[in-house]
Amino acid sequence: MTFYNRRPELACLGFVLAACLPASVCAQGVEGFYRGRQVTMLVASAAGGGYDVYARTFARHAVRHIPGNPAIIVKNLPGAGGVAAANALANTSEADGSVIAALTNGVAMEPLFGNVAARFDAAKLSWLGSIGKLQNVCATWQGSPVKTIEAARKRETIVAAAGATSNTAVVPRVLNAVFGTRFKVISGYDPGAGLTMALERGEAEGICGLSWSTIKASRPHWIRERRLNILVQMGIEKLSELPDVPRALDLVAEGESKQVLELILMRQEMGRPLAAPAGVPTERVAALRAAFAATMSDPDFRAEADRLQLEIDPLGAPAIENLLGRAYGAPEPIIRRAAALLDPSAHKAH
């Protein structure tokens, strides 16, 4: 656990007393609740990973913006692609505003895709916002003859991947199904340096599902020295930094396949979301959301993010709720096809 700098909240004493109190009483109540308190932040990844770095950077600055300036304790709770942390947040955490979680990008849609281990209702969580989107690309190493998505249809290309449900395994599986590419996935690599070293050592020809923001931070010389052939962008929106690289959604005709692809890519839009449990008092959720927004525009937070080469592209809680509404409102056949592509073994038919 890491600390970043109990007094019970005064209860309302009735309608008469409430009528006599100034309008600021709710704000004072929130401040009183958090003053001197420790807020636990669950992080759905191991220490030192990308999600962890973003979460800890956020925590260091958010303490200044939560009324009462509570300390924030970071507790890493990796497991099952973020499901372990989401389950803990929804089922065993106090719903009083003293626990929040930095979750993985796609975990909110695990119940939608039939993951029986996901024991939570994403629509009921108190979403606070997302620090940034995840924009994945499919790329091959500099010497590969496969330099376009068209070339990947004609020749088998070995790509490195982490676990079977990681983006690096899901993206090539989706591309093979939608575009007829011939990516051969070799999984089991460490999701950090293991993947990048697989390219440098020549063990794999490419990686599909490579986080653009992560590679900019961890291997900037790859971009500067043009060591990658970027075949396609895997995002809802196109990256301005890659104007000549096609977006996957632009390459597929209207119809079911496009709807399936869009539903899968929605998982990335949530990026690096933060949430509190369902049932947290409304005024505390509002205070946490305001603190999130204030942190995102905090010059000190932005300066540290720049030093760490973290990409900040925040989404507010309403945007997250809108994304989830669109995803959970998708037609059943689209959901079933998306679930089968994401994890054929662990997701049963929806």
pLDDT in tens, 161-186: 988 778 899 999 999 999 999 999 99
Domains, in order of start, for the chain: 2-133+270-342 (3.40.190.150), 136-266 (3.40.190.10)
pLDDT reported for residue 203: 95
Q: Which of 151, 153, 222 is nearest to 182 (CA)?
A: 153
pLDDT reported for residue 21: 40
pLDDT reported for residue 6: 36
Report residues of the chain scoring pLDDT below 70: 1-28, 345-350
pLDDT reported for residue 219: 87
pLDDT reported for residue 18: 39
Alpha-carbon gap, residue 101 to 119, rounded angstroms: 16
- The total of other beta-carbon atoms located within 10 Å of residue 117's CB is 14
Alpha-carbon gap, residue 131 to 296, rounded angstroms: 7
pLDDT reported for residue 26: 53
Sign of the CA dihedral 133, 134, 138, 140?
positive
pLDDT reported for residue 281: 97
pLDDT reported for residue 309: 85
Q: Is the pTM of this model over 0.85?
A: no
Residue 17 token pair: 């007393």
pLDDT reported for residue 22: 42
pLDDT reported for residue 16: 33
Mean pLDDT, the chain, rounded, equals: 89
**3-class secondary structure per residue, the chain:** CEEECCCCCCCCCCHHHHHHCCCCHHHHHHHHHHCCCEEEEEECCCCCCHHHHHHHHHHHHHCCCCCCCCEEEEEECCCHHHHHHHHHHHHCCCCCCCEEEECCCCHHHCCCCCCCCCCCCHHHCEEEEECCCCCEEEEEECCCCCCCHHHHHHCCEEEECCCCCCHHHHHHHHHHHHHCCCEEEECCCCCCHHHHHHHHCCCCCEEEEEEHHHHHHHCHHHHHCCCEEEEEEECCCCCCCCCCCCEHHHHCCCCHHHHHHHHHHHHHHCCCEEEECCCCCHHHHHHHHHHHHHHHCCHHHHHHHHHCCCCCCCEEHHHHHHHHHHHHCCCHHHHHHHHHHHCCCCCCCC
Residue 328 contacts residue 123 (beta carbons within 8 Å): yes
